[in-house]
Structure 1
Amino acid sequence: MLFRRRPDRLRRPLAVTASAALAVVAAALPLSTPAAAADPAATGDTTVTVNTSAGLGTVSPTALGANTAIWDSSMNDPQVTSLYRAAGIGALRYPGGSYSDIYHWVDNTAPGGYVAPGTGFDAFMGTVRASGAQPVLIANYGSGTAQEAADWVRYANVTKGYGAKYWEIGNEIYGNGVYGNGWENDTHADKTPDQYAREVKAYATAMKAVDPTVKIGAVLTMPGNWPDGIVAAGDTADWNHTVLAAVAHDIDFVSVHWYPNASDGDQSLAAVQQLPGELREVRDLVDRYAGADSANIGIAMTEVNSNSGSGAFTSRPNGLFAAEAMITALENGVFTVDWWDTHNGAGAITTVGGETDYGDMGMLSNGSCTGSVCEPAVNTPFAPYYGIKALGALSDPGDSMVASGTSGSEVSSHAVLRADGDLSVLLLNKSSTAAHTVDLRYLGFTAASGAPSVQRWAPGDEGLVDATGTATSSSATLAPYSITVLTVHPQPGTGSSAATVGAPGAPRTSSEGAGTVTLNWPAAAGAVDKYEVYEQLGTTVQSLGTSTGTSATLHNLPPGTRHTVNVLARDQAGRLSRPSVPLTFTTGTPNDSTCTVSYRLTAGWGNGFVAGVVVSNLGPADINGWTLDFDWPSTGQSVNSWWNANITAAGQHVRVTNGAYNARLAPNGGNSADFGFVGGNNGANPPPTVFRLNGTVCRTVV
């Protein structure tokens, strides 16, 4: 018996001060020139640029993960353990998606479902330990209790000493029918997000009373995906706002799932560009409700797969999707991203790019059949496994992800600065027909002479193969639908590996105003000469200033603007460390403005929404006739229809002019003008950050 996912589930330079000596650099500058001259023989059609001083975060031990399920009789096969280890999989999620909300750990039962022999908790933990991974466990919310979850913690961590750290409360509880679509078991009489939040607090209290070190995760919906934005009858807010408002100070991470539900493999690959904005919106929500505690709350993407409508599950496009989606999630603040799933079962049989696609959402075959067409032998890797294995070849836990970009739309790149100073670059050719030759350029890194090591998964390769000798440190030719990992050695005595200081600790904002932000960071190890603060601008950086202390205050920041910064340390010999983890912040709007704007979502359905806007004049002069300008933060947002105003749009810029009956705004807040519109969103749907009334920046009211 198989359990399958339901397919219907839906700049400018800034003034800076610091606590010590500080120098301001008033230009956008790369931290170094390209380290090596271009290979005279290189004639690439695409340029790849990597900047090792623009950090995107540290690879966690649980970065690459996979789901396991109690209905999978092969989940604990020794061959599976070996495959996990070979791919660098460091997290295993159990007991399996929606089964989690009918599962009782103590007797390994799931009333109403099938449990395969040999899939109990201790057997699973044997696989976890043998593979060198960590468990991500799902406590039964649907038909369980806080006491049952606490007993599981006691058994796992006190009785058995497993040290299970990550515990989610339920699976996709928002799918319990409260929004009209119900696949998730939930026996609570009250199925609202308020009830889920109350239970999360109760579960967290009971479980941490047994083991205070466990990390508790709450389930959120992915922004821009159903049922994000939907407010059920009788509720005051949607799922995410309701849950986080109640539990933000009680949890240690949030859990989201992402299935782009595209029509084919190429569209799934294209949809990955939505992930950074959607994950940024998750972080913004956590920041809003958790405040200072937000820094201690992680984001886990505990299920991901393309779920494309016309196949491309076991074939090459989904292998590229696995690599692209999972590394993109990690680069955007996720500490574990877990593929759905290890084994699943044959579905609709199609042909994709000349190869059979078995319609199976697993990364390994379970040997099942659809009609007369059968999968290969049990545990044969499918394409997604090789995509994940390429990520295992790209990095190890503790390595630093760094900024990388390409000049062509059919090639994408991702890069990791390894602990030993090597630089690994992942290159994906997303074209099904065209080969591409790339020229590689490095900022902040000097490549040694000699050929890099090369690992490749291309048509005709038997899995991920050693292809050393097929590329240089400055040029590589990529076959269609292929993944290539280059590992380049640094020239001796150069780069962060030569520095005598470590990376500074994670920066945080200690104060934040309309145009001023103060940064603080833990000191770097070693004898530091000074610290340098840089803002990321794609694959280049802008120097914001230097300080001999561990803080800096940035002044004259434009209101409502988003900035991502790293702090680097320079040693006494002038060598620069690797970057800190990044910090992203958005500046506020002026409290003393002569106008205010309130922007509220009043309804939503995942890819569309209704918004209401209220404009007030706080100044001393009467306004008779007004224009309100704002910009959408995401390219996928739009205005489709409106009322009580006139709206025009050009790209992401929106201009609103008054309607016939709300042209006058009396002084000193004497009255307000309100209007609304129906909008669309393809992906993230964050609120605009800056509104200008007749050219004046208003204070935004949340």
Structure 2
Amino acid sequence: MRRFRSAALSVFVLAAVPMAGPPVAAADADVTVVVNAGAGLEKVDELAIGVNHAIWDAQLGTPEVADLMRDAGVGAMRYPGGSYSDIYHWRDHTAPGGYVAPNTDFDHFMAGVRRTGAKAIVTANYGTGTPQEAADWVRYANVEKGYGVRYWEIGNELYGNGHYGAAWEADDHPDKSPAQYAALVRDYARAMKAVDPTIKVGAVLTTPGEWPDGITAEGDAGPWNQVVLSIAGPEIDYGIVHWYPTGESGPEVLPKTDRIADQVRLVREQARRFAGRDIGIAMTELNTPYGRNTQPGALFAADAYATLMANGVFTVDWWNVHNGVERASTIAGQPDFHDFGLLSSGGCTADGTVCQPAMNTPFAPYHALSMLSRFARPGDQLVGASTSDPQVVAHAARRTDGGLAVLLLNRGEDTEKTVELDYAGYSPAAAAQVLTYGNGATAITTTQGAADAVTLPPYSLTTLLLRPSAPSTLPTTPGRPVATAVTDRSATLTWPATTPGVKYEVHRQFGTTSEAWGETTGTTFTARNLTPSTRYTVNVVARDGAGRVSWASPPLTFQTTSPATSTCQVRYAETTNWGNGFVADVAITNTGTRPIDSWTLTFTWPTTWQHADSGWNATWSQSGTTVTATNVDGNRLLAPGASTTAGFVGSYQGPDVQPTSFTLNGIRCSTT
């Protein structure tokens, strides 16, 4: 048994798990994994597991490739391929300046999509195209041919059109600013939806923490995302982000999936702030810089996809199906070709000394996608999971058929890990089906094992498929709650009614720990005694008269305001940003009635990759994630109503998440 944080009213208690086979004794296990089935995250979309297909790939749409994609559980296929999207003209199937392979036109692509059983994501040509050309494509696809293509993008990575210096994306418009892109996105969306009002249109956004996010070019009203969302926000349905993290080793690259939650949250916050509404998020390109064809690539893919799905990204599309050899090396004992493709292109290095396996041989990330599709299927809900060892990563999914799946990744290249599993909010049967993909394997193996213990081979992906110990019909799952009347100390939560006669319980989530806030027979609950400037994540569950508990609602995350009253006030503002660093001003005001004679300001970065490097008008230091600024002689005394401003140069290697809570001499300040 593992103990969970106690609460004033109630607490989740772990269900006892029957032993099966030769279990790993708790005292002998290397790692403890905790799964909290009541800590509901987001549900898996039917487009969640996606890939990119490019018109220069002669294997595009072939039966062999379509069948491989189907077997891997691919649900989305993106076309016509990255930067080619902005030079591609669909009607005559040309891409001036690029290569177009035979039999890769739109109809061939759609034949492959249909054989796969997937959905299409199509990128309309912004760089050298027109709104009319895009609207004609929608008409051909959905009116004339009946393909039912629902998701359309407007261009690809248009922030790479030279506006910020680097130019890899074709863009013939004289004005290459985000304002011009956003204005034309409105025209594209209106023209395309006039043909088929049911389609969803996406606009290109920058990924938080990745160039050129945060940079404001000369003449712009703000960074790319601010301008695009402010202008095009009312017309679009989702935002498009891409992510290619940097790094030269497994230990450097694999942990970077910890950036994902903040990437997604910041895009959502930007949409609410600048577009005034929620929009979907699609990561339509993703890959890794290390071990692209070997086990590091598989581990990265599995962790990144699962984390993105858990955070509500509706499609994640690997770049790409085929690509080609860049260079040959040996990684974790296996041949790697630095090839972006999921499948081998059958090529050789430039000097002809090293060749890939036969055409369409799956690389390791392909098997990761196969594992993901067996782990979490459309409609399943990701739930909280945590581990005691950073080398082992855990994800869990509550399945629509009553089962539970646990995905475990061993990022240790040379070390086997024995794992003990504990469950809260779910009581599994003793036996489990165990799926394993190990380093150098050519397929996923299936064996029988125990629900509460498993041994993970080095550099491996393992999924446990569990059944409930006593299947039963559960109450209807509540809908996502909404927070209103949020203050520094309270918030009112509401949700739609479900089954008559149930009680609703509200739980705050701390990863795999659930704290019960209270229960009600109504659909409104006011949480009190909250902490100012604090982010909370909550779920609602329904409990019927027999004690059966529903799935957890989708999560709600909200943040309390800064203190309504305080003797100090802080205004934090970044004045300049260059993509991985910034200058920030911090204005401090004495709002009390007594003078402050010497002061110390502290705040904590929300992430581990942010740092205050140097500053002025205060003595700055950082320990861990805590930043401290102490007065200098010139601003030691702050009379009532007086202010002073200090500043610093900061740096970051991931999403730039601004601090929200500041204390002055131990007193929490209000913020503006």
Q: Shared topology, TM-score over 0.5? A: yes
Which residue number in structure 1 is paired with residue 97 of structure 2? 112
1:428 & 1:40 partners in 2: Cα distance?
Answer: 19
Question: Is contact 2:24-2:419 (8 Å) kept?
Answer: no
Which residue number in structure 2 is paired with residue 465 of structure 1? 445
Task: Map residues 262-661 of structure 1 onto 2, 5 A cutoff.
Answer: 262-291=247-276, 293-294=277-278, 297-308=279-290, 312-370=291-349, 371-372=351-352, 373-449=354-430, 451-459=431-439, 461-466=441-446, 468-469=447-448, 471-493=449-471, 498-524=472-498, 526-661=499-634
* Distance change in 2, residues 1:145/1:664 (3 Å): farther
1:210 & 1:611 partners in 2: Cα distance?
Answer: 47
Shift of 1:480: 0.8
2:388 & 2:458 partners in 1: Cα distance?
Answer: 17
2:439 & 2:602 partners in 1: Cα distance?
Answer: 50
2:589 & 2:145 partners in 1: Cα distance?
Answer: 62
1:31 & 1:201 partners in 2: Cα distance?
Answer: 52
The amino acid across from 1:48 in the alignment is V
Shift of 1:399: 0.7
The amino acid across from 2:318 in the alignment is W
Which residue number in structure 2 is paired with residue 132 of structure 1? 117
- Per-residue Cα deviation, 1:129-175 (whole angstroms, up to 9, x for no partner): 11111111111111112222222222222222222111111111111
* Distance change in 2, residues 1:460/1:695 (3 Å): closer
The amino acid across from 1:390 in the alignment is M
1:206 & 1:697 partners in 2: Cα distance?
Answer: 51
2:251 & 2:627 partners in 1: Cα distance?
Answer: 31
Shift of 1:28: 7.3
2:274 & 2:17 partners in 1: Cα distance?
Answer: 44
Which residue number in structure 2 is paired with residue 206 of structure 1? 191
* Distance change in 2, residues 1:644/1:88 (3 Å): same
TM-score for both structures, normalised by structure 2? 0.95
The amino acid across from 1:199 in the alignment is L
Shift of 1:657: 2.3
2:597 & 2:195 partners in 1: Cα distance?
Answer: 64
TM-score for both structures, normalised by structure 1? 0.91
The amino acid across from 1:482 in the alignment is S
Which residue number in structure 1 is paired with residue 146 of structure 2? 161
1:244 & 1:461 partners in 2: Cα distance?
Answer: 45
Shift of 1:621: 4.2
Shift of 1:592: 4.5
Shift of 1:80: 1.0
Taking only aligned residues, the RMSD between alpha carbons, in angstroms, comes to 2.1
For structure 1, the residue ranges without an aligned partner over 5 or more in a row are 1-12, 15-23
The amino acid across from 1:459 in the alignment is N
Shift of 1:638: 0.9
1:236 & 1:666 partners in 2: Cα distance?
Answer: 37
Secondary structure, aligned partner of 1:546: strand
* Distance change in 2, residues 1:659/1:217 (3 Å): farther
Shift of 1:666: 4.7
Question: Is contact 1:560-1:589 (8 Å) kept?
Answer: yes
Higher mean C-alpha displacement, 540-549 vs 513-522? 513-522
Shift of 1:263: 1.0
1:658 & 1:242 partners in 2: Cα distance?
Answer: 37
Identity across the alignment (%): 50
Decide which of 7, 26, 51 is 2:8's aligned counterpart: 26
Shift of 1:527: 3.5
Higher mean C-alpha displacement, 361-370 vs 242-251? 242-251
Shift of 1:459: 3.4
Secondary structure, aligned partner of 2:314: strand
1:34 & 1:639 partners in 2: Cα distance?
Answer: 47
Question: Is contact 1:528-1:570 (8 Å) kept?
Answer: no
Question: Is contact 2:347-2:356 (8 Å) kept?
Answer: yes
Question: Is contact 1:50-1:539 (8 Å) kept?
Answer: yes
Which residue number in structure 1 is paired with residue 658 of structure 2? 687
Aligned length: 664
Shift of 1:528: 4.1
Decide which of 115, 134, 137 is 1:149's aligned counterpart: 134
* Distance change in 2, residues 1:659/1:212 (3 Å): farther
Question: Is contact 2:439-2:459 (8 Å) kept?
Answer: yes
- Per-residue Cα deviation, 1:623-657 (whole angstroms, up to 9, x for no partner): 45333221111111110011122212222222222
Question: Is contact 2:47-2:315 (8 Å) kept?
Answer: yes
Question: Is contact 2:23-2:450 (8 Å) kept?
Answer: no
Task: Map residues 253-268 of structure 1 onto 2, 5 A cutoff.
Answer: 253-268=238-253
- Per-residue Cα deviation, 1:340-396 (whole angstroms, up to 9, x for no partner): 101101111111122211121100111122132221111110011001110011021
Which residue number in structure 2 is paired with residue 224 of structure 1? 209
2:522 & 2:198 partners in 1: Cα distance?
Answer: 33
1:41 & 1:622 partners in 2: Cα distance?
Answer: 63
Which residue number in structure 2 is paired with residue 18 of structure 1? none
Secondary structure, aligned partner of 2:663: strand
Secondary structure, aligned partner of 2:607: coil
